[in-house]
Amino acid sequence: MKLQCVVISAFICATIAAPTPNGMTFDAVQTRDLARLRARQSVNDESDDLINGPCRDVTFIFARGSLEPGNMGIIVGPEVCTALQASLGADAVACQGVGPPYNATLGDNFLPQNTSPDDIGAATTLFDLANTMCPSTKVVAGGYSQGAAVMDGSIQALPPAIMSQIAGVVLFGYTRNQQDDGRIPNYPVSQTKVYCNSGDIICDGILLPLPAHFTYGSNATSAADFLVSML
């Protein structure tokens, strides 16, 4: 229960720098508990396969949610990467998280695009890189929470040649689900799958993370299956 509260605090409690009973701030508690969660799940929250090379058949570019660690986060990104590699072969899939300048801050959720132009630019840089460095790789993409807004803002504005390299996109707990009618403008609906679980009101345009917002790890295999079906 405490862990769940702390993960939820990624959105809420972190903004309240009140001391906890043992004198730690919520920030400190959150950092500590996220580290514990990471250790326990041995989730790899950092993937730089595209940047490090070599090019692989498939490149999965993922943007994490607010305050998640690493560049892949821990809630669903690494799980989709693992499921893609299980399905296609570890050497066939490069996983790449959207890193700096996307820093997944809370405040950026409240900007007009539910993330910042710099955050969106960080994803666009990676789509450009995949296109120039690995022109024959098939790109698939994903985003969770603010990361879904990052993917939305980036993909809808890509030049056609780069957009057409993206075979499929999965979005989890999509913060712009309502504004953008459950899709990414300009990008084919048939190549997009949005996971919005029952009770996740963030998908209804209310930026309040309830427990359902943290359940998308259970949809990782389904999401990977969808992306594989788009290749």
Q: Give me the active site residues, please.
A: 145, 200, 213
Are 61 and 89 in contact by the 8 Å Cβ rule? The answer is no
Least gap, CB of 54 to ligand NAG (angstroms): 29
Instruction: For the sheet with 93-97, list strands across it.
Output: 93-97, 58-63, 138-144, 166-172, 192-195
Q: Is 15 in the site for ligand NAG (CB under 6 A)?
A: no
- Residue 219 interacts with ligand NAG (CB under 6 A)? yes
Q: Segment near ligand NAG (CB under 6 A), from 86-94, 136-144, 145-153, 215-223?
A: 215-223
Q: How far apart are alpha carbons 194 and 174 in whole angstroms?
A: 7
Applying CB under 6 A, what is the total number of residues that bind ligand NAG?
9
195 lies in the binding site for ligand NAG (CB under 6 A): yes
Write out the binding residues for ligand NAG, residues 98-117 only, by CB under 6 A: 101, 103, 105
Query: Does the footprint of ligand NAG cover residue 229 (CB under 6 A)?
Result: no
**CB atoms < 10 A from the CB of 103, how many?**
13
**Can you tell me which residue has the tokens 């090379």?**
53
**Cβ of residue 225: shortest distance to ligand NAG, in angstroms?**
11
* Calpha distance 46→143 (Å, rounded): 15
65 to 104, contacts with ligand NAG by CB under 6 A?
101, 103
Residue 37 CB, shortest distance to ligand NAG, in Å, is 20
Any contact of residue 197 with ligand NAG (CB under 6 A)? yes
Q: Do 151 and 227 contact (CB within 8 A), yes or no?
A: no
Per-residue contact flags (x/-) with ligand NAG for residues 112 to 151, judged by CB under 6 A: ------x---------------------------------
The reply to whether omega before 69 is within 30° of 0 (cis) is no
Question: Cα-Cα-Cα-Cα dihedral of 192, 38, 208, 111, to 10°?
Answer: -70
Where do contacts with ligand NAG occur on this chain (CB under 6 A)? Answer: 101, 103, 105, 118, 195, 197, 218-219, 222
